[in-house]
Amino acid sequence: MHKLSIKVAVLEHELSELRVLLEREAGVLFDGPTEMLTARVAGFLESRHLTSATDLIKLIQSSETESEALLESLLDGETGFFRNLAAFEAFEKKVLPELHDRKSADSPCCFRIWSAGCSTGEEAYSIAVSVCQGMSGAGGWNIHIVASDIRRQALAIARRGLYSEQAIVHVPPNLIKAYFSKIGQHFLVKPRLRNLVTFTPMNLVRPVYIGRFDCIFCMDVLRHFSMAQRIALVQRLHLYLQPGGYLLLGLGDKLPAVDPGFQIHTDGGFTVYQKPLSIAAKSGR
């Protein structure tokens, strides 16, 4: 038994039951240190004036809002602008130029990107900066970045687009000047960037179809998922890509052994996964 405060205790079997429910609900396997999960669950119990985790289990089974609120308090939302530099280098030097060349013949020229598991928005806005910088000559292009997360509070922060000086510390000064307005001690994303991004709540375990994408960023999400949910998600991401589209994963994320058929390109230590342009290309992997 893990005793956390005078009032609240979380029993082993309650914790196991919660783990199963959370994995089913959000795909995430809470298999880290028991103390950490116990402490967070206890904090949530106290916030709801509950005295046992069994009551919490009943609550989240009967209320989607409470289930979402619990996830909000448990999920790791670590993020940052250009957090994974190698990924952005691959995006700017390989993915964008290749897609630009291939799609230039299309009319109208559309370019759709998805930031799946976008947390508080830094990743989506970083993608928007890279696109603006890399496609400055692409006037007339219809560029749309969809950014989704299961946590609505994180999305509210993302939509606001107001970040601290600390949050933008890795953004080069010329890009800060071009894409942010200083407001007091904070930095607000300018409309030219904000207008490219649509934030929407979505549970990646139960995604709704929102069209096909030329590129999907799903960074630092897969590694938190159970193997079964990881396999299912990668298959869905493959399905949601246009032929020739790219999937970018975080450094700690691994494609499961059940690979739906990606071509693998590794450069500068970073790997991007491409859906083959055609069946013939797939057989030539």
Interface with ligand SAM (CB under 6 A): 26-28, 75-79, 83, 117-119, 123, 149-151, 154, 202-205, 219-221, 250
**CA-to-CA distance for 240 and 232, rounded, in angstroms?**
13
Q: 162-164 and 186-189 as β-strands: parallel, antiparallel, unpaired?
A: antiparallel
Taking the complex as a whole, the smallest distance from the CB of residue 123 to ligand SAM amounts, in Å, to 5
Strand partners, 187: 163, 182
CA atoms of 52 and 267, how far apart (whole Å): 51
Least distance to ligand SAM, CB of residue 219, Å: 4
Both tokens assigned to 121: 């928005």
Smallest gap from Cβ 154 to ligand SAM, in A, equals: 5
Nearer to ligand SAM, 83 or 112 (CB): 83
Enumerate residues 6+ apart whose C-beta is below 8 A from 168.
81, 176, 180, 187
Our CB check for ligand SAM shows the closer of 2 and 27 to be 27
Q: Which is nearer to ligand SAM, 245 or 250 (CB)?
A: 250
Residue closer to ligand SAM (CB basis): 68 or 100: 68
| Minimum distance of ligand SAM from residue 280's CB (angstroms) | 33
Q: Is 28 or 168 the residue whose CB approaches ligand SAM more closely?
A: 28
Q: What's the chain's length in residues?
A: 285
Maximum pairwise Cα distance, the chain = 67
Cα–Cα distances in angstroms (integers) from residue 215 to residues 45, 98, 103, in the given order: 40, 11, 13
Q: How far is the CB of 223 from ligand SAM (least distance, A)?
A: 9
Strand partners, 247: 216, 273
